[in-house]
Chain A
Amino acid sequence: MLFRVDPTSTVSLAEQIAVQVRSGIATGALAPGERLPPARDLARALQINMHTVLRAYGELRDDGLIGMRQGRGAWVNEDAAPGLVRVNELVAQLVTEARKFGITPNDLSRMIERT
């Protein structure tokens, strides 16, 4: 799994990591049950603080996407994908509906960002 973070971005590092794990699960790059890199290893690889990674993993665990256990590391929950699959379905529906009103996906994007 590839991780790319930008320390100069306005988005926090933890958020960047969390987003990438989420999209990895959504695209299938991270399979259900697959192990995530240990927080210490990922932190060292990205040259960031381990607690930043733990914060990201904690957020993902709170959202039910990953499981974490002391000594076992972190892994993608078996039912993580369906949640994101559902979101993808809703996105598809939204795009279809919006198009009926002549609203393009780009417009939709802006609308979503404003929320």
Chain B
Amino acid sequence: MHDSTTPPPAASARGRIVLAGLAMAVPAIAIALTRLVWGDAIPVDVASHWSGTGAPDDSMPAARVFLVTLIIASVAAIAAAILLALPRPGMRTKRMIILFIGIAAGSAASVWVIPTWLTLQAGSVDGAVLGWWVVPLAACSLWGVIPAMILPAQPLLAGAAARPAPMDLGETEVGAWSRSVTALLFLWLTLALVAIGAVAYTPILLRGESGVAMFGLSILAVATLLCASFIRLRISVDWRGLRVVSLFGIPMKRIPLDHVDVVEATDIRPMDWGGWGYRIMPGRSAVVLRSGPGLVVTSTSGKQFAITIDDPEEPAALLQALVARAGSRA
């Protein structure tokens, strides 16, 4: 699954995209509207810099502030609209870009609206005390979050080419596939935890001041053990479905056969799944030990699970066959 194109969205998703685009236009509209409403009341110079929350220590011509911020916010709104209309890149990349463009637009709007309002209210630049207005001044920068959250999630599309044909299991045949992998990632993590523990607790232990420190140390020890148990993973496909189990038998992921909807053997890019390691995101989870070939299973609930393994075609074909057989016998 690649985040390189956006598939055509459903109607509700389309509505959200439009809404997000409109949200991106709000800062520019806010700048233009306030200019119109305040009109002649706008002073020639407005406060433009504060070192603390007291009186301003610099000012700029209002016209310049207005023009610069309006241009920034307008360019942001237009860029966002164009980006949302394009088929490429994928929705997740668009969301990130919109977030940053939105921050720029929101910041521009707040840089115009608040200082101008303060100067206008006070009647002079020196009277434009920042005070609590520093809060909305900073908060407006977060405007990008709103359109980013409004955008719909990437619709889950499976590439037909990545779905291998089901293995030709005989009627009476029983198939099971398993492989053990060493997740170096968790090895480094474990070593790091041990190192941190040693650095943090050795002086305390040497001084003999156990007691309270023991609590923290034992928690760290448990975390280290848990992490260490993920160093060696056993991945299996059989009548129990797809299972990923850690060293001590702690299951990391279990997808029973009757929960399997789509099976793909495809290329896994860590950035699509939130990075390396054991990733859990809304609707998607993954065990990403490296980039490259892996198995992606979409469950009947729509959630996806990915795991990087070499030669995923064989377990994928087996899983397909087992799922088909379980389905036909249900």
The interface residues of chain B lying within 8 Å CB-to-CB of A47 are 174, 239
The interface residues of chain A lying within 8 Å CB-to-CB of B173 are 4-6
Contact partner of B178 (CB less than 8 A), chosen from A5, A6, A8, A41, is A41
Closest A residue to B314 by CB, please name it: A2
Our count of residue pairs bridging A and B at CB distance below 8 angstroms stands at 46
- Shortest C-beta distance, B196 to chain A (Å), equals 31
B97-150 contacts to A, CB under 8 A, are none
Answer whether residue A42 sits at the interface, using C-beta atoms and an 8 A cutoff: yes
Quick one: CB contact mask for A95-111 with B, threshold 8 Å, 1 for yes? 00000000000000000
Contact partner of A45 (CB less than 8 A), chosen from B180, B238, B314, B315, is B238
Verify B176–A3 contact, CB threshold 8 A.
yes
Verify A2–B180 contact, CB threshold 8 A.
no
- Shortest C-beta distance, B308 to chain A (Å), equals 18
Verify A2–B318 contact, CB threshold 8 A.
yes
CA distance A41 to B169 in the complex (A): 21
Contact partner of A46 (CB less than 8 A), chosen from B176, B179, B315, B318, is B176
Answer whether residue A83 sits at the interface, using C-beta atoms and an 8 A cutoff: no
Answer whether residue A112 sits at the interface, using C-beta atoms and an 8 A cutoff: no
Verify B169–A35 contact, CB threshold 8 A.
no
Answer whether residue A7 sits at the interface, using C-beta atoms and an 8 A cutoff: yes
Verify A2–B174 contact, CB threshold 8 A.
no
Answer whether residue B170 sits at the interface, using C-beta atoms and an 8 A cutoff: yes
Answer whether residue A37 sits at the interface, using C-beta atoms and an 8 A cutoff: yes
Verify A3–B239 contact, CB threshold 8 A.
no
Interface residues on A, range: 10 to 19
Answer whether residue B38 sits at the interface, using C-beta atoms and an 8 A cutoff: no
The interface residues of chain A lying within 8 Å CB-to-CB of B69 are none
Contact partner of B176 (CB less than 8 A), chosen from A6, A8, A35, A45, is A45
The interface residues of chain B lying within 8 Å CB-to-CB of A8 are 172
Contact partner of B175 (CB less than 8 A), chosen from A4, A7, A41, A48, is A4
Answer whether residue B236 sits at the interface, using C-beta atoms and an 8 A cutoff: yes
CA distance A41 to B239 in the complex (A): 12
- Shortest C-beta distance, A10 to chain B (Å), equals 12
The interface residues of chain A lying within 8 Å CB-to-CB of B314 are 2
CA distance A85 to B172 in the complex (A): 32
- Shortest C-beta distance, B239 to chain A (Å), equals 6
CA distance A85 to B180 in the complex (A): 25
Verify B176–A42 contact, CB threshold 8 A.
yes
Verify A46–B238 contact, CB threshold 8 A.
yes
The interface residues of chain A lying within 8 Å CB-to-CB of B315 are 2
CA distance A109 to B239 in the complex (A): 35
Answer whether residue B188 sits at the interface, using C-beta atoms and an 8 A cutoff: no
Answer whether residue B177 sits at the interface, using C-beta atoms and an 8 A cutoff: yes
CA distance A45 to B237 in the complex (A): 8
Answer whether residue A1 sits at the interface, using C-beta atoms and an 8 A cutoff: yes
The interface residues of chain A lying within 8 Å CB-to-CB of B174 are 4-7, 46-48
A33-78 contacts to B, CB under 8 A, are 35, 37, 41-42, 45-48
The interface residues of chain B lying within 8 Å CB-to-CB of A41 are 178, 234, 236
CA distance A46 to B318 in the complex (A): 13
The interface residues of chain A lying within 8 Å CB-to-CB of B169 are 4
Count chain B CB atoms within 10 A of each CB in A2, A5, A42 and give the residue with the most. Answer: A2
Supposing A45-B238, A46-B238, A47-B239 touch, asked if A2 and B172 sit within 8 A by C-beta, the answer is: no
Closest A residue to B236 by CB, please name it: A45
CA distance A35 to B233 in the complex (A): 13
- Shortest C-beta distance, B141 to chain A (Å), equals 54
Q: Footprint of B on A, CB under 8 Å?
A: 1-9, 35, 37, 41-42, 45-48
Closest 4 CB pairs of A and B: A45-B176, A45-B238, A8-B172, A2-B177
Q: Footprint of A on B, CB under 8 Å?
A: 169-170, 172-180, 234, 236, 238-240, 314-315, 318
**Could you write out 18 A-B pairs with CB less than 8 Å apart?**
A2-B315, A2-B318, A3-B175, A4-B174, A4-B175, A6-B174, A8-B172, A35-B180, A37-B178, A41-B234, A41-B236, A42-B178, A45-B176, A45-B178, A46-B174, A47-B174, A47-B239, A48-B174
